[in-house]
């Protein structure tokens, strides 16, 4: 077999007098590069006003908080005395104080119980909303909206009346309805455990509607035909929820759980109001109330600022995880 140079283009060759067209070489696929979004700099320019407002409202106070946390700033400085720079001494004092770790541990446990309770009850309420007839669903939705819209301070005062030692309806029902004489004039707020039980009820009661409505909106997007097929195959209600519904709602579960963690870690109003009603502050402080006690009530704004910065770092860590998971879900 001989090859003759016929002067044909490189892609064409002649073999034994026959013309054979050789396909051009295939280039390897190029890696996809992220191109600039359509619109050029317009989207970034539209973000400038909101960014400036956010920097003024949040950024500047954070800078002031950082500065205060590195100073000896007490009541004398409030009335004009110049503060003294101590740099990281306030942070060392906080991180070596056993009381701070006691409050931090108490806050983490309390937040964990509230988050788990809120997510479980919110999920059950969302499933109930999906199955109720239209009239009952509307009635339940109005009730949850009223609970959600009630200010935390007002809700705490109402629940405080219900758990009142002398005139509370809870003690009355337990004594007169169930015959539990040990609850006659029982003080729910003196004991730290029952104090956090009452506080947890108030917080969960106000947070469940948000979770329920969010998950209910997600439940409407789960394909009915998939659930019906699983039911025909013999899958029970719990199995259908675990294998079909939960995977569809996993991003929503993740977002609502992280938001509940952030909110419950920095809870202030309910704890502070219950302490005024009858709780023991030293045994029931959480991070938000502890910062207030150290800085505002105690007059040590430097140490209080250091505690606030540490709390902000904890919340920012949770927030960064939330942002990262959100970006991952958008890329899928």
Query: pLDDT, tens digit, for every residue of 145-158?
Result: 999 999 999 999 99
Burial 21-55 (b: 16+ CB within 10 A, else e): eeeeeeeeeeeeeeeeeeeeeeeeeeeeeeeeeee
Our measurement of the distance from residue 224's CA atom to the centroid of its chain's CA atoms, rounded to an integer in Å, reads 30
pLDDT digit string, tens, across residues 3-46: 445 454 454 444 445 555 555 555 555 544 444 455 678 888 88
Tokens representing residue 180 in the block: 């539990």
Strands (E), the chain: 12-15, 18-21, 71-72, 84-85
Answer with the residue of higher pLDDT: 31 or 246: 246
**In the predicted model, is pLDDT for residue 2 greater than 90?**
no
- In angstroms, the CA 51 to CA 39 distance is 19
pLDDT of amino acid 41:
84
Is the CB of residue 219 less than 8 Å from the CB of residue 124? no
Is the CB of residue 97 less than 8 Å from the CB of residue 90? no
**In the predicted model, is pLDDT for residue 327 greater than 50?**
yes
7 burial via Cβ count (<10 Å: 0-12, 13-18, 19+): exposed
Average pLDDT over residues 189-200: 94
The reply to whether the predicted model has a pTM over 0.85 is: no
Going from the N-terminus, what domains does the chain have, and what CATH number goes with each? 103-331 (1.10.3720.10)
Least confident of 18-22, 82-86, 183-187, 261-265: 18-22
**In the predicted model, is pLDDT for residue 57 greater than 70?**
yes
């Amino acid at each position: 077999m001989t090859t003759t140079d016929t002067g044909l283009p490189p892609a064409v060759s002649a073999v034994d007098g026959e013309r054979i067209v050789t396909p051009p070489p295939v280039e390897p696929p190029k890696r996809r590069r992220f191109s600039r979004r359509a619109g050029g700099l317009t989207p970034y320019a539209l973000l400038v006003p909101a960014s400036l407002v956010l920097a003024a409202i949040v950024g500047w106070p954070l800078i002031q908080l950082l500065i205060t946390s590195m100073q000896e700033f007490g009541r004398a400085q409030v009335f004009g005395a110049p503060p003294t720079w101590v740099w990281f001494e306030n942070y060392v004092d906080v991180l070596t104080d056993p009381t701070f770790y006691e409050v931090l541990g108490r806050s983490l446990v309390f937040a964990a119980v509230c988050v788990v309770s809120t997510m479980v009850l919110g999920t059950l309420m969302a499933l109930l909303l999906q199955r109720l007839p239209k009239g009952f669903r509307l009635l339940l939705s109005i009730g949850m909206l009223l609970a959600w819209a009630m200010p935390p301070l007002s809700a705490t005062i109402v629940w405080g009346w219900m758990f009142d030692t002398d005139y509370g309806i809870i003690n009355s029902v337990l004594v007169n309805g169930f015959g539990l004489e040990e609850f006659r004039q029982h003080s729910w707020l003196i004991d730290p455990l029952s104090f956090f039980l009452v506080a947890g009820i108030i917080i969960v009661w106000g947070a469940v509607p948000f979770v329920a409505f969010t998950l209910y909106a997600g439940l409407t997007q789960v394909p009915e035909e998939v659930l019906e097929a699983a039911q025909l195959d013999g899958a029970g209600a719990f199995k259908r929820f675990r294998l079909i519904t939960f995977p569809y709602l996993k991003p929503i579960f993740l977002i609502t759980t992280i938001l509940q963690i952030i909110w419950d870690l920095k809870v202030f109003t309910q704890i502070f109001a219950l302490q005024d009603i009858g709780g023991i502050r030293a045994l029931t402080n959480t991070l938000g109330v502890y910062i207030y006690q150290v800085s505002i009530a105690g007059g040590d704004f430097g140490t209080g600022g250091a505690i606030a910065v540490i709390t902000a770092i904890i919340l920012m860590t949770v927030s960064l995880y939330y942002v990262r998971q959100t970006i991952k879900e958008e890329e899928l």
